[in-house]
Amino acid sequence: MSISTDDAAKVAGLARLNPAPEKITQFADQFNDILDYMQKLNELDTSGIEPLYTPVTHETVFRDDEVLKEYSREELLGNAPETDGNYFIVPRIVG
Amino acid sequence: MSESYLPTMTEIRGRLAAGEVRVEQVVRSCLDRMDAFEPSVRAFITRTDEQALSQAREMDRSGPTPETLTTKPLWGVPLTLKDVLTTRGLRTTCASRMLADFTPCFDAEAVSRLRNAGAVILGKVNMDEFAMGSSTENSAFQTTANPWKLDAVPGGSSGGSAAAVAARMGFAALGTDTGGSIRQPAAFCGIVGLKPSYGRVSRYGLVAYASSLDQIGPMTLTVEDAALLLRIIAGHDPKDSTCADQPVPDYPALLAQRSDLSGLRIGMPQEFWSKEGLDLDVAERCAQSMAVAEKLGATCVPISLPHTPYAVAAYYIVASAEASSNLARFDGVRYGYRDKEAANLIEMYRNSRSKGFGEEVQRRIMLGTYVLSSGYYDAYYKKAAQVRRLIQQDFHQAFKQCDVICGPVTPTTAFGMGEKTADPLQMYLTDIFTISLNLAGLPGLSLPVGLGERSGLPVGLQILGPAFREDLLLQVGHVLEHHLPRLPLPTGIAQ
């Protein structure tokens, strides 16, 4: 399986990234190397093997769902690139 | 320069609690070493000299009490934190331009526990951006030098933590390990590093890279120090549902229960010890430490972890997939870098992320997006998760024949700066011995076992164990450590 520059550009879009065109070409080449290496996994027959998505074996510990006010609005907005003091501001979405 | 304090963390906390030294003296001795070595080592992203000194003076005013060691087991002890752990009011960058100005309003749980134990934070230390890398060369801000050889890497991703501890800039550090990021830099810098079992330490406030693999752990000068630090940071936290509700043993006290290794069966996986894959320096020192273990009563058993050759491929699929999902939160809206020029929302997202993230981070996000995308999910992500199960089963099988598993941490000693940066796959392959442990969720201790005869650089041995048996790893490491030569001060900064 080979990844073209177009494929890499499409993935960049899905990932909400915008690398420079020469970077996209470079990424496509590197992905081909990396994914070639990953083909190694196909040497193994994994039919019927239950996938392992997390090593957690314990049961989830429940707690009461209590409302806490731990942080002020000011603190939570403090790192935002743009606010009006009450809300996060983003570029206009609807005309 | 004021008097230089070079004891271990356990020793200095005893002297502090007994009132033999003042906190300010100890903090100043660390700051002096930072002033002396930082120009060449560059471990710190953010130093907090003033806060540390003012905290120290305040502590000295009230002084230690007879209960200090029990109630504040790290009273006055200066430590450093990997810059991936959130610190209230203190910039937390993850070594990324994306978070260059990010100041969290909360402490990571592990950090709160250190503060409650009386520790003094000296600053935030360098790493590969978002913990993605094996050399700390992926930091957006600076490269960190290995204190043993200044043109060699300290390892990664917790390279700043390892270099700071090796250079005695702070008595210990916290690191994080997703695929070897505590153990490998510990090995390269000649210190002790412990990757706890998945779920042993709360990940609350650890900026997530790959959530099913990440763990926070101690990086220290001795095994005893690692035991003490783990005792403090381990244990259930309601803020992290993956953190296990299991009692925390008194790790330091348990060390005294084993004086030799009699009756211990050590598994030696053939996949880790094959001569072709190992540098002579590493092979010799690790084999020598096994001979010491046998003299101390251990029996070495040949074992096999047959799926080891597949671990790197499975790991980079799983880790990249989780990273692509975790790092979606950096959207230029609530925190982090925003491209102000963008005309619309999508362009703002795309430009902010591509300008804020470095190359390796973008590579892994894209790789992860690809392996999770429609049509490829089963072929890559599900397949990797199935292989992950096989890797875990390898360990379960192995622990029927042995109590712990030993092997080299890395195939080589610390490599040169720039040596592996051109080819990401070659860099990934340096993690070959560390990665399977994270996939299986098990604990591992990296122990310095001497200097390579040719390179003069530290070599690390890994001791791996069943889940939640950190007590056993620490005991074995503690016994071995006392029968191996103690490393001198790092040669790169020796004066």
B322: its two tokens? 């989780």
Residue A84 has which token pair?
């009006």
Per-position DSSP letters for B145-194, written without gaps between them: -BTTBTTB---SSSHHHHHHHHTTSSSEEEEEESSSTTHHHHHHHT-EEE
Compare CB distances from B386 to A15, A46, A57 and report the shortest one's residue. Answer: A46
Reported as a single tens digit per residue, the pLDDT across B83-98 is 999 999 999 999 999 9
* Residue B29 appears among annotated catalytic residues: no
**Chain B residues in contact with A81 (beta carbon < 8 A):** 332-333, 335-338, 340
Among candidate residues B140, B143, B158, the one with its CA nearest the CA of residue B84: B158
Tell me which residue has tokens 């930091």. B139
A14 to chain B, minimum CA–CA distance in Å?
A: 7
How is residue B27 written in tokens? 């903090």
Q: Which of B403, B456, B455 is nearest to B293 (CA)?
A: B403
Q: Does B325 touch chain A (CB under 8 A)?
A: no
Q: What was the pLDDT predicted at B1? A: 42
**Averaged pLDDT for residues A78-87:** 96
User: Edge-to-edge, what's the strand order for the sheet holding B215-220?
Assistant: B44-47, B120-125, B78-82, B172-177, B215-220, B192-195, B444-451, B458-464, B404-408, B265-269, B299-303
Q: Of B29, B135, B157, B324, which residue is the catalytic one?
A: B157
The single-letter DSSP state of residue B333 is S
Q: Examine the pLDDT at A29 and tell me if it is beyond 90.
A: yes
How crowded is the C-beta side of A11, counted as CA atoms within 13 Å? 28
A28 and B CB contact within 8 Å: no
The domains of chain A, with CATH numbers, are 5-43 (1.10.20)
Q: Write the pLDDT tens digit of every residue in B274-304.
A: 888 899 999 999 999 999 999 999 999 999 9
Are the beta carbons of B155 and B149 closer than 8 angstroms? no
A94 touches chain B (CB under 8 A): no
Q: B329 in contact with A at a CB cutoff of 8 Å?
A: no
B:289-308 residues touching chain A, CB 8 A cutoff: 307
SS3 (DSSP) at B301: strand
From the list A63, A79, A92, which residue is nearest B102 (CB)? Answer: A79
CB atoms within 10 A of CB B257: 8
Q: Look up the CATH number of domain B9-267+403-493.
A: 3.90.1300.10
Q: With DSSP H G I counted as helix, E B as strand and the rest as coil, what are the percentages for chain A, rounded to 5?
A: 40, 0, 60
C-alpha distances out from residue A38 to A15, A42, A56, B21, B53, Å: 21, 8, 26, 55, 51
Q: Do B309 and A40 touch (CB under 8 A)?
A: yes
Amino acid at B133: G
Asked if A2 contacts B350 with a C-beta cutoff of 8 angstroms, the reply is no
Dihedral class, residue A51 (left if φ above 0, else alpha if ψ from -120 to 50, else beta): beta
- Residue B426 near chain A (CB below 8 Å): no
Whole-angstrom distance, CA of residue A81 vs CA of residue A89: 8
How does pLDDT run along chain B (495 residues), one tens digit per residue?
A: 455 668 999 999 999 999 999 999 999 999 999 999 999 999 999 999 999 999 999 999 999 999 999 999 999 999 999 999 999 999 999 999 999 999 999 999 999 999 999 999 999 999 999 999 999 999 999 999 999 999 999 999 999 999 999 999 999 999 999 999 999 999 999 999 999 999 999 999 999 999 999 999 999 999 999 999 999 999 999 999 999 999 999 999 999 999 999 999 999 999 999 888 899 999 999 999 999 999 999 999 999 999 999 999 999 999 999 999 999 999 999 999 999 999 899 999 999 999 999 999 999 999 999 999 989 999 999 999 999 999 999 999 999 999 999 999 999 999 999 999 888 888 888 899 999 999 999 999 999 999 999 999 999 999 999 999 999 999 999 999 999 999 999 999 975
- The yes-or-no answer on residue B383 being catalytic is no
What is the least distance, in Å, from the CA of A67 to any CA of chain B? Answer: 14
Residue B446 designated active-site: no
What's the rounded Cα separation, in Å, for the pair B91 and B87? 7
Q: Are B88 and B105 in contact (CB under 8 A)?
A: yes
Q: What is the pLDDT of residues A6-21, one digit of tens each?
A: 999 999 999 999 999 9
Secondary structure (3-state) at B202: coil
Catalytic residue selected from B72, B82, B149, B420: B82
Hey, is the C-beta of A86 within 8 angstroms of any chain B C-beta? Answer: no
Task: Give the pLDDT confidence score for residue B16 in this predicted structure.
Answer: 97
Domains in chain B: boundaries:
9-267+403-493
Answer yes or no: is the ipTM higher than 0.90.
yes
